[in-house]
Structure 1
Amino acid sequence: MEPLTTPNPDKFSKALGMSFKGSNTNGKIWIFVGEGMDFIVEDDSEQLLHGRFSCPWLPSHILLSVVYAKCSRGERVALWEKMREITQVVEGMPWLIGGDFNTILSLRDRTGSDTKRQAEMVDFAEAIEDCRLLDRGYDGAEYTWAKNGLMERLDRVLISETTSQLFDAVRVTNLPRIASDHGPLLVRSRLPSNHEGGRAFRFQNMWVRHGGFNELVREDWMAPTDAEGLFNLKLKFARIKGALKRWNKEVFGNIHANLKNCEENIAEAQADFEGNASARNRMEVNKRIAEYILLLKMEEDFWKQKAALQWLEEGDKNTRFYQSWVKQKRIRLRIHKIIDNGRELTDDTDIKESAVSFFQNLLGPDYPELDEPDLSLLQRIPPSEHLDDLPKPLDDDEVNLPFLISRPIVHPGRMVSRPYSIKLAGASSDQTL
């Protein structure tokens, strides 16, 4: 909460049905928690209240920072520095920071004014980048603050990379403005489930750097399938997919585990060389280092492919850069809500079922069930003497029954054609009409 009154714990605890856990130095930020939860203040300042939040259903505590920023750019500098200071403490721990930052991040976050705020946006963006925070986006209202025709998105929630690993999904909803010019933020998170479905096959670009990759593909592709055409191509693709999946599991292995093992091998080889500086031990050290460099390139390929980036600045070999892009993309592309026939679906199961139903109807529409035909409507064929002969086999006369072949004969240069020449097939040359 960011109230405009002096903290009154007893009054608001009863009104909210929650426990008061503290406020910042100037009384602008209050913390209330539900039953069984706890919040321990670790850092207190005029614009930020930081602490440790825990609840029974979380596997570990998370660090929570609540912001109520000053209105001027100069006063917010202290907030950005405080965020950078906290970053040094929370390294590797789940961290969620949110509240009223009193500035925007891009021009899309504002409407109703043309005031230049680029410098403020740069300050905010640099603080987010330095703290390695992710803006997971939002749903609901587009702007969180409004006054006299000016609307801005001043309130937002940012999360650390570790938080994105702890939770399967983090959803921020901008709720409507009712009793204030600010709209409240609703943050919901979901822990990952233990159930894992089958994963679709995806070709990994890093495979091509392995020494045995080309030979594996060549042998499997050249093996015959006893089929032709597109069916032959389909069988080859299916077979090589299975071969690559087995090879990846049995030979290539996990790239991150391979890197760790290679580091241990280098340390062991260097220890042997320090004990015995022979040419053989020197060669072993160089071999291990070359393997390690190759694995680093493979890991870079792995993260680059997952990040789906089409560019790479020369010299930027930090795979952590790609990891942050992967997590940011995964967070932003997650579907939290869809509209299906006028109904708003937010449950994951409902969303999946709706998507499956849509594509089933699109690619394989259900045809209406047809009623059994009423055979009584068919009129009975009147009896005929020829109907009785239909099931009988053909005799020699019927097989040799002549049929007519006609062709007009036209003389070149003449407009008049001769009468049709008609011949009976199966007859002699003299039997013409």
Structure 2
Amino acid sequence: MEPLTNPDPDQYSKALELKFKGSNKSGKIWVFAEEGANFIIEEDLDQVLQGRLTSHRMANYISISVVYAKCNRLEQNPLWDKMREISTRMEGTPWLIGGDFNTILAHEDMVGSETNRQAEMIDFAEAIEDCRLLDPGFDGAEFTWAKNGMFERLDRLLVNEAWTNAFEATRVTNLPRVSSDHGPILARCTMPRPPSRVSAFRFQNMWVRHDGFLQLVQDIWAQPTGASGLLNLQTKLARSKKALKAWNKEVFGNIHANLQAMEEGIAQAQANFEADPTPRNRTEINKNIAEYILLFRMEEDFWRQKAALRWLADGDKNTRFYQIWVKQKRVRLRIHSIIVDGREIAEETEIRHSAVEFFRSLLAPGHPGA
């Protein structure tokens, strides 16, 4: 922040809802941080305030250099030298340097002025190259400063290679100028995702509805292990776990996608029957619907099991939520009765469908039963 004034920093802390962490000796650079973060000043100079930022959001600290450069080329030279000096200490440490550099890097960074800035541009470019800094790019306003018909990009952020390794992405946005001839710069960094862990084995209740489940378990359990006692039991359990995971992927796959595909199959079978109402096409409808109901019950088992812990944690509230939800979200299936094996079976699928959607909603963020 570049205040160019000397009011009480507490006033700005309240407005920004951030803690004031210090300023440089000239009073032209101020630093604020959120609750739970701290900025430790390491160097306090006229043109740069250097320090390290720690936060509960990050495992390690990062280095930040806030710049407010002089306007004169000769006076800027100490800043470029200081940048080079800081960079030698930043090997392996994420480092961001940014602020008002009061110069440009290319002719495209300036409109409305014919001043020859070539020498300044070279000085700045050489300092960036020597420090091995990278420009992450930006979106938003093309120029960060405007006055009397002149527009320039004087403010920017630069990062080192360690910074690009510490964060998955850095997005820089040049915000509109509001109460100053300079526009603020917003940097947003994406933290790296934690390494994915191998998912734990979990028995799925829906498996027992499949005709091949019991035989699969029996076949695995009957295989000899060459061991006895607890080692024999451990080996059989390990084999069962491996076989069931493979069987689940092969037979069930994505049960939700399978259910949707089955619905499309029923619709196609119905269309075929309407076009050619033969007993064969009627039987095909019945077969598809029977398979659909079985798969539907399996999906209901899946969602019921997945939501069980949350359901038990607050049963009364979930019960009330479910009653209201069913009244508001009743979903009627197209088929209410089918003929299977020569006998009519009345299926009350309306509430079953609502139950599945309800269990899905329990896992969504912000639901009343969470």
TM-score under structure 2 length normalisation: 0.53
Amino acid at match of 1:25: K
Residues 77-96 of structure 1: matches in 2 within 5 Å?
77-96=77-96
Residues 392-411 of structure 1: matches in 2 within 5 Å?
none
* Aligned-residue offset at 1:119: 0.6
- Distance between the aligned counterparts of 2:129 and 2:59, measured in 1? 28
Long gaps (5+) in structure 1: 197-368, 377-433
CA contact (8 A) 1:7 1:30 kept: no
- Name the counterpart of 1:55: 55
- Name the counterpart of 2:166: 166
Long gaps (5+) in structure 2: 197-267, 277-370
Identical columns (%):
59
- Distance between the aligned counterparts of 1:77 and 1:61, measured in 2? 29
Q: Which shifted more, 6-15 or 149-158?
A: 6-15
* Aligned-residue offset at 1:195: 5.7
CA contact (8 A) 1:177 1:183 kept: yes
Confirm whether residue 151 of structure 1 aligns to residue 182 of structure 2. no
- Distance between the aligned counterparts of 1:14 and 1:88, measured in 2? 37
* Aligned-residue offset at 1:184: 0.1
* Aligned-residue offset at 1:372: 6.1
- Distance between the aligned counterparts of 1:143 and 1:12, measured in 2? 26
- Distance between the aligned counterparts of 1:116 and 1:44, measured in 2? 32
- Distance between the aligned counterparts of 2:15 and 2:93, measured in 1? 33
Deviations 1:116-137 (A, max 9, x none): 1111000000000111110111
* Aligned-residue offset at 1:9: 2.2
Deviations 1:29-73 (A, max 9, x none): 001111111000000100000001011011200001000001111
- Distance between the aligned counterparts of 1:115 and 1:102, measured in 2? 14
- Name the counterpart of 1:139: 139
* Aligned-residue offset at 1:15: 2.1
Instruction: Give the 3 Å change call, closer, same or farther, for CA 7–83 of structure 1 in structure 2.
Output: farther
- Distance between the aligned counterparts of 1:7 and 1:104, measured in 2? 31
- Name the counterpart of 1:311: none
SS in 1 for 2:134: strand
- Distance between the aligned counterparts of 1:124 and 1:155, measured in 2? 13
- Name the counterpart of 2:302: none
- Distance between the aligned counterparts of 1:44 and 1:100, measured in 2? 16
Amino acid at match of 1:72: N
Instruction: Give the 3 Å change call, closer, same or farther, for CA 63–7 of structure 1 in structure 2.
Output: farther
Amino acid at match of 1:88: T
Instruction: Give the 3 Å change call, closer, same or farther, for CA 375–59 of structure 1 in structure 2.
Output: closer
- Name the counterpart of 1:275: none
Confirm whether residue 31 of structure 1 aligns to residue 27 of structure 2. no
* Aligned-residue offset at 1:176: 0.4
SS in 2 for 1:133: coil
Instruction: Give the 3 Å change call, closer, same or farther, for CA 375–40 of structure 1 in structure 2.
Output: closer
Amino acid at match of 2:38: D
Q: Which structure is higher in RCO with an 8 Å CA cutoff and minimum separation 6?
A: 2
Number of aligned residues: 204
* Aligned-residue offset at 1:375: 7.0
Amino acid at match of 1:105: L
Amino acid at match of 2:2: E
Deviations 1:101-153 (A, max 9, x none): 00001111111122211110000000001111101110111110111111011
Residues 22-421 of structure 1: matches in 2 within 5 Å?
22-194=22-194
- Name the counterpart of 1:325: none
Amino acid at match of 1:114: E
CA contact (8 A) 1:39 1:54 kept: yes
- Distance between the aligned counterparts of 1:375 and 1:34, measured in 2? 68
- Name the counterpart of 1:258: none
CA contact (8 A) 1:7 1:27 kept: no
- Distance between the aligned counterparts of 2:37 and 2:8, measured in 1? 20
- Distance between the aligned counterparts of 1:172 and 1:100, measured in 2? 15
SS in 2 for 1:113: coil
* Aligned-residue offset at 1:85: 1.2
Amino acid at match of 1:182: H
CA contact (8 A) 1:110 1:151 kept: yes
Amino acid at match of 2:13: S
- Distance between the aligned counterparts of 1:57 and 1:83, measured in 2? 27
TM-score under structure 1 length normalisation: 0.45
Larger-gyration structure (1/2): 1
- Distance between the aligned counterparts of 2:153 and 2:146, measured in 1? 9
SS in 2 for 1:123: helix
- Distance between the aligned counterparts of 1:67 and 1:175, measured in 2? 18
- Distance between the aligned counterparts of 1:30 and 1:13, measured in 2? 11
- Distance between the aligned counterparts of 1:157 and 1:36, measured in 2? 24
Greater percentage in helix: 2
- Name the counterpart of 1:278: none
CA RMSD for the aligned pairs? Answer: 2.0
